[in-house]
Structure 1
Amino acid sequence: MKKTLEWVLPPEVAYDDIRFEQEVRNQLRLTPDTPAFIRKIRRSIDARSRQIKVNLAADVYINEPVPPLLSFEKSYTDVSKKDQAVIVGFGPAGMFAALRLIEMGIKPIVLERGKDARNRRRDLAAITKDHVVNPDSNYCFGEGGAGTYSDGKLYTRSKKRGDVRRILEILVAHGATSEILVDAHPHIGTNKLPQVVTAIRESILEAGGEIRFDTKVTDFILKDGEMRGVITHQGEKIEGLGVILATGHSARDIFELLHTRNILIEAKPFAMGVRVEHQQQFIDSVQYHCAVRGNYLPAASYSLVAQARYKGVEKGVFSFCMCPGGYIVPAATAPGEIVVNGMSPSRRDGQFANSGMVVSVDEADWKPYEKLGPLAGLQIQKVLEQTAFQLAGQTQTAPAQRLQDYVNGKISSSLLPTSYQPGLVSVDMTTILPPSIAVRLREGLKVFGKQMKGYLTNEAQMVGVESRTSSPVRIPRDKETLEHPQIKRLFPCGEGAGYAGGIVSAAMDGERCAEQLVAHYQNKK
């Protein structure tokens, strides 16, 4: 017999497997010796009242066989001698595009400018310790893309674009915890993601696919309005049935190459601002209405949004990529710039909470650079990042300012302890942020101080700059075929092309692009 039950439970029951099983047995009036298997299927926290509750659903199998947890089976056929397709980039979009091509009998040739996950660590350490940025191997470039070493949040609203459960199951099949199939806001953690992406790489290689690290694409092979392949920095020409371009939102040289080759791209709205860092204990106390969150509740997160005016124009100010118990990391992709991002380990047990706090940016903001056409948004990013680098001392030490000081127009005489390991320097952030962002950010922080009592305090600080929230460029494509409208056999994909906003949505987009490439060009050379 199978029963599906739903509960509203206190955290100490919902997050304690022994107590939860006893709760289930008591409710079903099962004797201690009755065989029963309990599988949690949904779990979410309700913190709206002072009495925190956990909504939990589970399937209970009583005296009957238990079906497999995963409907997905990690079994790939050999494609080593099949027709091949080229994938540029080995982030979530590129990884899942490669797996899907293999499932459909096509050999993926994946080209990744960065290093594999293990060797990439050395370059990340060099940024932190020596302030040296390798433009091809950093927090954005390398195996697994930006997500590998910058958090691993799996929540997405893009459920209409693909099968979210399928993506999560593939991750579980490659080593991710099965808890991501249950939690409302699943998360793997930056300490565990490298093993998962390495396992995905092994699946691709075992099936006969190719992955070439330290391989940068420097040109395209165009014939009669079709993209037949790419040329690498070593001069090698690699051709295939088509090209899935999944380079991520920071591959500026690819945007510039597309523009130089007169391949249609467009400037796209995005957002920029800072990272705001509080003590995690403070966020817990506000969100959970208690002095100490205890042993059962996870580190609390928050989501804030406001509208703020500058010169009569209202735009959004909002939190982005909130990292409970996390760290601020240096995410520059070239020397001479400062970029920050956030990450959390799987346990989210760090002392600090950080979140991007950003302002919407559109054509009104990049008008001074409109002569650059579709690269205007990219240029405003560069100017912000390079200004931060110059004013913070020309290292990876980041500019920072206490929140109340920023709102009051005062330079901070001292800064707080931080999770950002290269270090901080006190700077008036209005000398870095353009007025259209600085003014709105100040007004937004005032609103957030009212929405979340204690948020606007000098016991928190902002660290700059958070400028890579999404791609400043969109590579257009047909809504149905996902193919570039001008260049056949080119499939713009994922965050870098402007069609995803995280690991899961990028993975789903990678699968869709692979399916469309095969549908239109399999057996057509």
Structure 2
Amino acid sequence: MKKEFQLQLSPEEAYNPVIFQETLLKKAGLPLDSKDVIARQLKRSIDARGRQVKVNIQAELFVKEKPTPLIEHIDHYQNVTNADPIIIVGAGPAGLFAALRAIELGVKPIILERGKDVRARRRDLAAITKDHIVNPDSNYCFGEGGAGTYSDGKLYTRSKKRGDIRRIMEILVAHGATEEILVDAHPHIGTNKLPKLVADLRNSILEAGGEIHFDCRVDDLTIEGDEIKGVVTQDGEKIKGLGVILATGHSARDIFHLLHEKKVLIEAKPFAFGVRIEHSQNLIDRIQYHCAVDRGEYLPASAYSLVTQTQYQGKQRGVFSFCMCPGGYIVPAATSPGELVVNGMSPSRRDSKYANSGIVVSVELEDLPNYQKFGPLAAMHFQADIEKKAWKMGGETQVAPAQRMVDFVNKRVSSSLLDTSYQPGLVSVEMREVLPDFISQRLAIAFKAFGGKMKGYFTNDSQLIGVESRTSSPVRIPRDRESFEHVALKRLYPCGEGAGYAGGIVSAAMDGERCAEKLIAAYVHK
């Protein structure tokens, strides 16, 4: 017998498995010592709007009945060793899921990844943090799993395609993610768990006969007429396939330059630019959970989402939180020497004493009149110039420029900075000397507004750390809305965040699957 419940519980009732089962038995009118009973949560979300935090639960209780699996059985992938090949440039979420979908459809994927495998990549991340050495092919953005591998691993998306989202989640669970990601309203995996999961995805591809080549940067395209026939690697090797899925991520500036030089149509795209804000996690918990001391044993580290509209010089622009990392760390995310970029990540337990979030300003192309000479690369050049300025202001290392929040708003250099999760270190500067005026002015307006929405958020016990510049691709590679094929170059399928069609692990994975399906339908299974 199976019973279903919609419940609103206390954090202890929701997150303590023993107490949760006892609560469900009481709701079902069954004795607490009932045998052959299994309680299972299907959906879980936190409601912190009232003074007492509640957890909304959709649950099932199985009495003398075996529960159905939360994930559908995923078949072993067929062997495609001798099948027709397609080329996938980039081994981030879009590229990996494009490869898995290609295998399901009987096609051999050949993934070319400029960076290293997930284990070898760790050494280059340590070199950025400890020695301030940036490897342009292996860093927090480039390498197996892409930028998502060393991130919070957030899995929520604004996409409305619930079936497709569920499919991605189930594939992740089949490769090692906990079933909790199928339950939580805002699921995440954690930077400590992602590397093994990514390696397991790689093994599935290789075991099925797909290929993955690391340290294999694409430096040229083989184009004949209006079709792409293949690519040329950094070693001069020419690799051909029935089509090319370009899934390089939002930071592959050399690819954007290459496309422009090859006269392959690309477009400048609006994006967002700002800083990372770091508070103590305890402060954010006290604000969000209305608690006097701490959040207690059962509640997870709290998150926040903020947005406001700002007026400056007659133009309205949004300012919003981006990639908020509860219990997380700020990391150096530059992809070339001579630039400074920061990003955030969280371990699965989200147990750092710090909370950080990007606070970024929407940047439209009309905001960049001095960069219009760069055509479709205008926003990218703007982005790069500010990153270089941040690097210089930090002392030409990976030490990041920083300023306390209230000091920034009051145009006062901070006499001291707070402890930080950012391991390369901070230097106190006037952040208005790093950021363009139209961004710093809007940030100052927004911080005051956010303080009105979250009492205690606007405080000098927080600090700006800059710059947060890689929110999304500053370039779009245009493709047909129906076929997903590039609008002018046949057999090229721009894909994922780097092409301007995704924003996170799940949406990138979904886009990778769709690109593989469209390419294969058009040129393999005609």
Coarse TM-score class (shorter-chain normalised): over 0.9
Q: Percent identity?
A: 65
Paired residue for 1:203?
Answer: 204
* 1:92 and 2:93 are equivalent in the alignment: yes
Q: Which amino acid aligns with 1:215?
A: C
Q: Do structure 1's residue 418 and structure 2's residue 406 form an aligned pair?
A: no
Q: Matches of residues 11-26 of structure 1 in structure 2 within 5 Å?
A: 11-26=11-26
1:134 matched residue in structure 2: 135
Superposition pairs for residues 96-495 of structure 1, below 5 Å? 96-160=97-161, 163-291=164-292, 292-495=294-497
Q: Distance between the aligned counterparts of 1:250 and 1:522, measured in 2? A: 30
CA contact (8 A) 1:155 1:186 kept: yes
CA distance in 2, matches of 1:103, 1:231: 27
Q: Does structure 2 conserve the Cα–Cα contact (< 8 Å) formed by 1:189 and 1:347?
A: yes
Distance 1:82 1:502 in 2: 31
Contact 1:114/1:214 (8 A) holds in 2: yes
Structure 1 length-normalised TM: 0.99
Segment of structure 1 superposing worse, 71-80 or 503-512: 71-80
Paired AA for residue 50 in structure 2 = S
Which residue pairs with 2:10 in the alignment? Answer: 10
Q: Deviations over 1:137-194 (max 9, x none)?
A: 0000000000101210001111238610110110010001110000000000000000
Q: 1:521 matched to which residue of 2? A: 523
Paired letter, 1:65:
K
- Partner amino acid, structure 1, of 2:67: V
Secondary structure of 2:367's aligned partner = coil
Distance 1:172 1:189 in 2: 14
SS at match of 1:382: helix
- Residue type of the partner of 1:392? G
- Preserved contact between residue 402 and residue 459 of structure 1 (Cα < 8 Å): yes
Does the 8 Å CA contact 1:246/1:494 hold for their aligned counterparts?
A: yes
The more displaced of 156-165 and 315-324 is: 156-165
Corresponding residue SS for 1:364:
helix
Take 2:386 and 2:408, find their aligned partners in 1: how far apart are those partners? 18
Measured in 1, the distance between the counterparts of 2:393 and 2:198 equals 37
Distance 1:74 1:50 in 2: 47
Q: Distance in 2 between matches of 1:492 and 1:448?
A: 37
Q: Deviations over 1:86-124 (max 9, x none)?
A: 000000000000000000000000000000110000000
The SS at the match of 2:161 is helix
* Partners of 2:415 and 2:361 in 1: CA distance: 26
Distance 2:225 2:407 in 1: 59
Paired AA for residue 163 in structure 1: D
Name the SS for the 1:335 alignment partner. Answer: coil
Secondary structure of 2:111's partner?
strand
Q: Is the 8 A contact 1:72 1:170 kept in 2?
A: no
Code of the residue aligned with 1:37 in structure 2: it is: I
Matches of 1:34 and 1:162, distance apart in 2: 35
| 1:489 partner amino acid | R
Structure 1 unaligned blocks of 5 or more? none
For residue 163 of structure 1, give the secondary structure of its aligned residue in structure 2: helix
- Stretch of structure 1 that moved more, 268-277 or 58-67: 58-67
Change beyond 3 A, Cα 1:2–1:157:
same
**Partners of 1:377 and 1:15 in 2: how far apart?**
45
* 1:369-420 deviation per Cα after TM superposition (whole angstroms, max 9, x unaligned): 1111000000000010000011110000000000010000000111110000
What is the CA–CA distance in structure 2 between the aligned matches of 1:275 and 1:66, rounded to whole Å?
44
RMSD, aligned CA: 1.0
Q: Secondary structure at the match of 1:342?
A: strand
CA displacement 1:49-77 (0-9 Å, x = unmatched):
01110000112222223222211415101
SS in structure 2 opposite 1:353?
A: strand
Q: State the distance in 2 between where 1:298 and 1:237 align.
A: 50
Moved over 6 A (4+): none
- Partner amino acid for 2:19? R
Give, as a single letter, the amino acid of the residue that structure 2 aligns with 1:239.
K
C-alpha deviation, 1:432, in angstroms:
0.7
Q: Which moved more, 1:68-77 or 1:308-317?
A: 68-77
**Worse-matched range after superposition: 362-371 or 507-516:** 362-371
Distance 1:406 1:270 in 2: 23
In structure 2, the gaps of 5 or more residues are none
Corresponding residue SS for 1:227: strand
Whether contact under 8 Å (1:161, 1:509) holds in the other structure is no
Partner Cα distance (2:469, 2:162) in 1: 26
1:58 aligns with 2:46: no
Structure 1 Cα separation of the partners of residues 365 and 106 of structure 2: 43
The AA in structure 1 aligned to 2:165 is V
> Structure 1 stretch 449-458 or stretch 270-279: which is displaced more?
449-458
Question: How many residues end up aligned between the 2 structures?
Answer: 524
1:166 counterpart letter in structure 2: R
- Does the 8 A contact of 1:161 with 1:508 survive in 2? no
In the aligned structure 1, how far is the partner of 2:155 from the partner of 2:366?
32
Give, in whole Å, the separation in 2 of the partners of 1:59 and 1:228: 53
Q: Secondary structure at the match of 1:514?
A: helix
Query: In terms of mean alpha carbon deviation, does 138-147 or 71-80 score higher?
Result: 71-80
